[in-house]
Amino acid sequence: MTVVYEKVALIGLGLIASSMFWAMKRGHVAGHVSGYARSAETRDTARRIGLCDTVCDSAEEAVKDADLVVLAVPVGAMASVAQAIAPYLKAGATVTDVGSVKGTVLSAVGPHIPQGVHFVPAHPMAGTEHSGPESGFATLFDNRWCLIVPPEGADETAVVRLEDYWKALGANIERMDPEHHDLVCAVVSHIPHLIAYTMVGVADDLQRVTDQEVIRFSAAGFRDFTRIAASDPTMWRDVFLTNKDATIEMLGRFTEELFALQRAIRTGDGEQLHAYFTRTRAIRRSILEAGQDTDAPDFGRAKVER
């Protein structure tokens, strides 16, 4: 496979960035990969496991001469990181990100990108409940979607090159405008996580059910809620604080649906419940047919090898 970028810099070395590195290594997508993480412990771990060709002790050092710079840090930290690295960015380089909110990222990062450097936000729709440099694996993006969200006036050559890069990592590509991206992600990702956090919190608060009963007798539904609710708390705090409008809109719609189901249960309207569950079951079938999951238990998540 042809090298897409001669040098790639990963700023942040968690699940997504580490998976990007192993996928780049698998496909020979980059000539050299440098990496930086704020935590010295994370940098030491990265060096120990061979994550990145060079692990740097500053973001400024990592981005030097990089053709692609990936901001793989929480959304709330992106503005300060972009400001710090801006003077060290190579002319003609592309800066991208992997955040799940785009409106805020564009307004926070965009002003710090110097003239002659391209900013093309992206969002790989892939992940697990695990985090940290040791959680990544090369196949994370295979047959998953990466949404490319170029700002108005973005250089087309830079956008296409980034799309080619994500395809080389195994992903499917689609372009979206920022507002639509944030609405879609509120539906398919943000609200499900919020519901999972809430459901696990309710179980924790319910005094009539002991902790041991919750753990010992968890059926698949609750167990899968806990998997989602185990996701990185810093990342998800920032997601909800930076995607307020779309999240609140979708929460309102969810509440309306919940009230309708509550009413159907209270009034014994079995016909409505059956019709509703039949419709939602069809959506699950469509996801399987699209190859975005398997019908294996535990969300189809088998153990993976790097």
pLDDT tens readout for residues 175-226? 999 998 888 888 888 888 788 888 777 776 665 666 667 666 666 677 777 7
User: Is the pLDDT score of 306 beyond 50?
Assistant: no
Q: Please say if the pLDDT value at position 274 is more than 60.
A: yes
pLDDT higher than 70, residue 72: yes
Place of tokens 């398919």: 188
> CATH topology for 5-177?
Rossmann fold (3.40.50)
Give the whole-number percent of the chain exceeding pLDDT 90. 57
Rounded distance between C-alpha atoms, residue 10 and residue 182, angstroms: 24
Count of beta carbons in the 10 Å neighbourhood of residue 113: 19
Q: Where are the domains of the chain?
A: 5-177, 180-300
Does position 68 have pLDDT exceeding 70, yes or no?
Answer: yes
39, two tokens: 């935590």
pLDDT above 70 coverage of the chain, percent: 89
* Residues 74 and 17: beta-carbon distance below 8 Å: no
In CATH, the architecture of 180-300 is: Orthogonal Bundle (1.10)
pTM for the whole thing? 0.78
- Give every CB contact of residue 197 below 8 A, 6+ residues apart in sequence: 228, 229, 236
* Residues contacting residue 94 through CB under 8 Å, at least 6 positions apart: 5, 67, 68, 69, 117, 118, 119, 120, 158, 161, 162
In DSSP terms, 173 is beta-bridged to 146
